[in-house]
Each structure stands twice: as structure tokens, then as C-alpha cells.
């Protein structure tokens, strides 16, 4: 039985986390309205069956598959999911189209960046080109009575998009951090190759949309949407400040950098408890620091 949570009458979260990760980590959202459905985030190839089972249980006709970006944990399953859906199209960032149609490069990059985790997610299957729609910024997709709007939010990746639902729910993918509900903490999603300027611009763009609720792929829903985004915006500045100070002091170890970060983001103390829970968290925190180190170095040299 798929682990499916009903969030509202029109919104469900299916936990598509591979069991190897040990913690609920990837939420695939299903929007249902008047017998039609949209899938926001497919999760990885290895989770396709769970997702299909959940969709069968809901019984709605899937019209749209909308990954926020093509990293394996978000859009890795697009090709394999489309095989199970008759009339759905995938709405993706224009820069993502070619990589979904031919995922060889994407898979090679993922194996390099993620190692064992890429094997857990499994290789993406190619998606038929004619079923991929290049979604421009502001594009609208109708599912039953519900309208979904595409909002381009580059930074974490150049091909990242967010989705705003008519009821004020904003699906942020990896553009606004990883939400750890139990700790009420957000881990920045600033992994290499982050474009920090674009990441911050995208956060401002999202704040301006005034979302009532943030639906995080990692993981779950936070009410007070604008509030959590504003807090994250401030937090990223704090992390950058900590990284810069560490580098200026010649401290390069992950531990030392995190120590400096905690001076400006006091809640970063919570990370100690968080990384102990899953190897995935540990990898992500290390990568998010690494991305900022690269950015700050670049700024210091420039
Ligand atoms: Zn992710």
C-alpha cells in the first residue's frame, strides 16, 4: 500500500522515498480536481510503481506530470511514469527537455555527484519527445477546476521551476531548502553548481507571489508560506557569512565551517541531530556547504 497523506480535498502527498534512505525524504504531490490529476514531482525511477499504485487508488485521469527539475529525486521517474499514463504530458523547464528525452548525460552527472544514492534512485528512462512540453515562465496548466502556474526559479539548477496552485500552495522543489518538519528547520539547497545570485532572486520572486503554504518535496507542507520563505532568505545570508568568515580564517573543514555558520544561524545546532538520522541528510548538508564554499571563493577572487 502506498503511503499517501491527504493534505486538502485536492492535494495528496505520496511518500516515494526509496527504503534505503531510512527517513521520509521525497514527497510526490498529486493534485486532484473533478476526476483529473496532476503529478508534481515523480521521485526517482525506482519509485514509479509506488506512485502508479497511489494514482490507481485515487482513480483520477492524470493530465500533467510536472517535475520541478530533472535531478533524479524529482524528475528521474518522468520517463518511466509516462509509460503508465495514457494521456499525460510532462511540463518541464525548456532547458530540461533534451535531458529528459535523452537522459544519458544526466545519469552520468548524477552518478558522479551522488554515488551510491544514484544507484538507489536508478537510471532515468528516456521520455518520448512528443510528450514533453517546454513550459515557459507563467505558463498555466488546468487540472479539473484547478489552475497551476509555472514559475521559473533557477539557482539550485538552471532548469528549476516552481508551481503555484490557485489556492496559494507553492511547490518549491529544491529552490527553497529542505524542510525538516520535526525540527522546524530548513537546510539550504545550495549544492554545486549553485548560482547563488539566482537562488536569492528566485526566493524573492517566490515571496512576491505571497504563497499561503509551501509544499516541499523534501519534505511536507509548511503553512505560513511567506514566513518560511522570508526566514530562509535571511538564513542563506547567515550561511554565506559563516562560510566567508571560515575561509578568511583559513578553516576549510566541513566541521569548522558549520561551526562558523552556527554563529549566524543559531538554529544550525539542530543539524547535529538531523544528520545522525540519515546518510542522505549528511550528504546534503555537506554538499550545500560545498556549493557555498565554491561561490564564496569565486566572490573572494573576483
Ligand atoms: Zn532534491
What residues contact 226, with CB distance under 8 A and at least 6 apart? 207, 210, 211, 212
Q: How far is the centre of ligand 1, averaged over its atoms, from the C-alpha of 2 (Å)?
A: 20
Residues less than 5 Å from ion ligand 1, measured at CB:
73, 174
Domain end (from 181, 202, 232): 232
Q: How far is the centre of ligand 1, averaged over its atoms, from the C-alpha of 201 (Å)?
A: 19
Q: How far is the centre of ligand 1, averaged over its atoms, from the C-alpha of 250 (Å)?
A: 31
- Domain shared by 225 and 174, yes or no: yes
- Domain shared by 159 and 264, yes or no: no
Domain end (from 189, 208, 232): 232
pLDDT score of 1 = 67
In the DSSP assignment, the letter for residue 97 is H
CA–CA distance, 261 with 245 (Å, rounded to integer): 9
Per-chain mean pLDDT for the chain: 96
Q: How far is the centre of ligand 1, averaged over its atoms, from the C-alpha of 173 (Å)?
A: 7
Q: How far is the centre of ligand 1, averaged over its atoms, from the C-alpha of 302 (Å)?
A: 30
The boundaries of the domain holding residue 260 are: 237-301
- Domain shared by 225 and 290, yes or no: no
What residues contact 3, with CB distance under 8 A and at least 6 apart? 14, 15, 24
DSSP character string of 146-212: EEEEEEE--SSSTT-EEEEETTSEEEEETSS-EEEGGGTEEE----SS--HHHHHHHHHHHHHT--S
Contact status, residue 136 vs residue 150, Cβ threshold 8 Å:
yes
Q: How far is the centre of ligand 1, averaged over its atoms, from the C-alpha of 73 (Å)?
A: 5
Burial of 104 (0-12, 13-18, 19+ CB in 10 A): exposed
pLDDT score of 277 = 85
- Domain shared by 227 and 262, yes or no: no
pLDDT score of 68 = 98
- Domain shared by 280 and 201, yes or no: no
| pLDDT tens per residue, range 181-236 | 999 999 999 999 899 999 999 999 999 999 999 999 999 999 999 999 999 999 99
Residues with pLDDT less than 70, the chain: 1
Amino acid at each position: 500500500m502506498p503511503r499517501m497523506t491527504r493534505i486538502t480535498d485536492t492535494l495528496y502527498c505520496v511518500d516515494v522515498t526509496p527504503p534505503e534512505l531510512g527517513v521520509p525524504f521525497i514527497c510526490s504531490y498529486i493534485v486532484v480536481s473533478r476526476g483529473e490529476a496532476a503529478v508534481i514531482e515523480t521521485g526517482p525511477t525506482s519509485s514509479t510503481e509506488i506512485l502508479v499504485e497511489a494514482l490507481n487508488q485515487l482513480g483520477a485521469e492524470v493530465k500533467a506530470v510536472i517535475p520541478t527539475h530533472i535531478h533524479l529525486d524529482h524528475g528521474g521517474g518522468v520517463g518511466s511514469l509516462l509509460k503508465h499514463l495514457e494521456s499525460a504530458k510532462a511540463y518541464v523547464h525548456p532547458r530540461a527537455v533534451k535531458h529528459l528525452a535523452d537522459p544519458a548525460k544526466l545519469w552520468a552527472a548524477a552518478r558522479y555527484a551522488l554515488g551510491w544514492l544514484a544507484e538507489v534512485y536508478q537510471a532515468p528512462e528516456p521520455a518520448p519527445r512528443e510528450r514533453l512540453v517546454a513550459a515557459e515562465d507563467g505558463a498555466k496548466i488546468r487540472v479539473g477546476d484547478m489552475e497551476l502556474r509555472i514559475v521559473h526559479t533557477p539557482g539550485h539548477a538552471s532548469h528549476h521551476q516552481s508551481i503555484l496552485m490557485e489556492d496559494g500552495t507553492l511547490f518549491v522543489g529544491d529552490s527553497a531548502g529542505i524542510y525538516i518538519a520535526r525540527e522546524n528547520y530548513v537546510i539550504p539547497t545550495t549544492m554545486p553548481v549553485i548560482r547563488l545570485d539566482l537562488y536569492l532572486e528566485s526566493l524573492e520572486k517566490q515571496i512576491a507571489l505571497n504563497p499561503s503554504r509551501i509544499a516541499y518535496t523534501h519534505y511536507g507542507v509548511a503553512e505560513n508560506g511567506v514566513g518560511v520563505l522570508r526566514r530562509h532568505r535571511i538564513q542563506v545570508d547567515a550561511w554565506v557569512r559563516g562560510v566567508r568568515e571560515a575561509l578568511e580564517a583559513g578553516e576549510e573543514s566541513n566541521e569548522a565551517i558549520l561551526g562558523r555558520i552556527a554563529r549566524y544561524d543559531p538554529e544550525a545546532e539542530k543539524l547535529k541531530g538531523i544528520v545522525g538520522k540519515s546518510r542522505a541528510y549528511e550528504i546534503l548538508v555537506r554538499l550545500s556547504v560545498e556549493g557555498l564554499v565554491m561561490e564564496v571563493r569565486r566572490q573572494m577572487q573576483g
